[in-house]
Amino acid sequence: MSKFVFPPRIIFDESEKEAALRVIEKTMKGDETIDLYGKGPEIANFEKEFASYFGVKFAAAVSSGTAALHSAIGALRLNPTTEIITSPITDPGTVAPILMQNCIPIFSDVDYETLNISPKSIEEKITEKTKVLIPVHLAGQPCNMDAIMDIAHKHNLMVIEDCAQSIGARYKGKYVGTFGDLGVFSLMGSKHITSGGQGGMIITNNEELYWNVKRFADRGKPFNSPEKTNLFLGLNYRMTEIQAAIGRSQLPKLKKIKEKRIWILDQIRNLLSDSKVFHPWKMISDVEANPWFIFMHYDEKHAKLSKEEIVKILQEEYGIPVGAHYTIPIPEQLWIKNKATYGESQYPWSAIKRRIDYRNCCPEATRSLADHFTLYSHEGWEEKEISYVVESLKMVEKRCLL
């Protein structure tokens, strides 16, 4: 086992400490402007600052990235069994809100080299029941939003961008999350920035959708309405004041975090340019990524060891933070295969006439995940970490070449 020690990721400094204490001290003094449950000035300011950062009219803070996506879907006021197309390579938090709104997830296949959703496959999956597209900007790389928005306009579809892994990334100079009708972000502790362990945000330029998001995330309350009672079914997804205060401290750091992560990826890509076996995943043109982690392609046709064997060597002999499998494609996961939703009802699938068969629906997703592994870099890496990783990969390559 290597004695090389990778630095821990340091998420907070004195600014987050001061932000949290600012809220705590106000409550200790009985400051009536502080509402710890979703109405205080920290939340209002965080929403304004977030919207300003991304150049949109509205931002709504919620308790998690999953809550953000659920609130965005809830804001659309869709009928049950509406079909929503999304990526098969994503976190279950992308798909669970679709089912919680009793809609039907339809999985578009991906581009093998980028692992992002394929516009061609999206168009092949559209039916008369399709109303929404949810492209997932995976691992920090933007999707091909020109093609996706062209499809959405052609078929009159709403677009919710899942930016949970790609906050601050750009496509053709525009931030992800600003192309569609709504953009959703995760602020959990492992993401690029956090609001204190968990948190989420929704952005939009559509005022009606903004108010519906706010309503859905607070049990359907009649915000911006003359009504006195709740307007529709919703949940309690409110962010807290302490979360918002921490999030406000983190947001100004996003630019430097992104710059550092891009630099790390570029260095690794350049230093591995002559490798026959290893290279970072492909980026499409006109993108400015914000890598959450680095997908590494492993070309087995030039090697005598499997990807799993290679990753085990990298972990156990070199101590490199890698994983053999990012995920299993969502359509192949047990809860989707068994349609395990409400008891044994298999609802909402059981409420529709056509049979949804997810078997072999996304072969490129399966193939792509089989040929990539994950390298967990972060902005705390410097040249010595990059050099160690690259030299280790090159040494392992010599051992495994055919």
Q: State how far the Cα of 105 lies from the Cα of 198, in Å rounded to an integer.
A: 25
Is residue 69 domain-shared with residue 51, that is, in the same domain? Answer: yes
Whether residue 277 lies inside any domain: the answer is yes
Q: State how far the Cα of 131 lies from the Cα of 157, in Å rounded to an integer.
A: 5
Is residue 183 domain-shared with residue 271, that is, in the same domain? Answer: no
Whether residue 197 lies inside any domain: the answer is yes
Question: Which residues partner with 183 through β-bridges?
Answer: 161, 203
- Tell me if 118 sits within 8 A of 356, measured CB to CB: no
pLDDT of residue 186: 98
How many domains, in total, are found in the chain? 2
Is residue 213 domain-shared with residue 284, that is, in the same domain? Answer: no
pLDDT of residue 34: 60
pLDDT of residue 110: 98
pLDDT of residue 27: 79
Is residue 223 domain-shared with residue 130, that is, in the same domain? Answer: yes
pLDDT of residue 303: 87
* CATH number of the domain where residue 241 is located: 3.40.640.10
Is residue 45 domain-shared with residue 189, that is, in the same domain? Answer: yes
From first to last of its 402 residues, what are the pLDDT tens digits of the chain? 789 999 999 999 999 999 999 998 887 777 666 655 556 899 999 999 999 999 999 999 999 999 999 999 999 999 999 999 999 999 999 999 999 999 999 999 999 999 999 999 999 999 999 999 999 999 999 999 999 999 999 999 999 999 999 999 999 999 999 999 999 999 999 999 999 999 999 999 999 999 999 999 999 999 999 999 999 999 999 999 999 999 999 999 999 999 999 999 999 999 999 999 999 999 999 999 999 999 999 998 888 899 999 999 999 999 999 999 999 999 999 999 999 999 999 999 999 998 999 999 999 999 999 999 999 999 999 999 999 999 999 999 998 886
pLDDT of residue 33: 63
Q: Which of 253, 268, 284 is the last residue of a domain?
A: 253
Report pTM.
0.96
Whether residue 345 lies inside any domain: the answer is no
* CATH number of the domain where residue 313 is located: 3.90.1150.10
Q: Which of 253, 278, 302 is the last residue of a domain?
A: 253
Q: Which tokens sit at 93?
A: 């938090």
Q: State how far the Cα of 141 lies from the Cα of 180, in Å rounded to an integer.
A: 16
What range defines the domain where residue 50 resides?
A: 14-253
- Tell me if 157 sits within 8 A of 177, measured CB to CB: no
Q: Write the DSSP string, 88-149.
A: SSS-HHHHHHHHHTT-EEEE--B-TTT-SBPHHHHHHH--TTEEEEE-B-GGGPPP-HHHHH
Q: State how far the Cα of 96 lies from the Cα of 99, in Å rounded to an integer.
A: 5
pLDDT of residue 401: 82
Is residue 64 domain-shared with residue 151, that is, in the same domain? Answer: yes
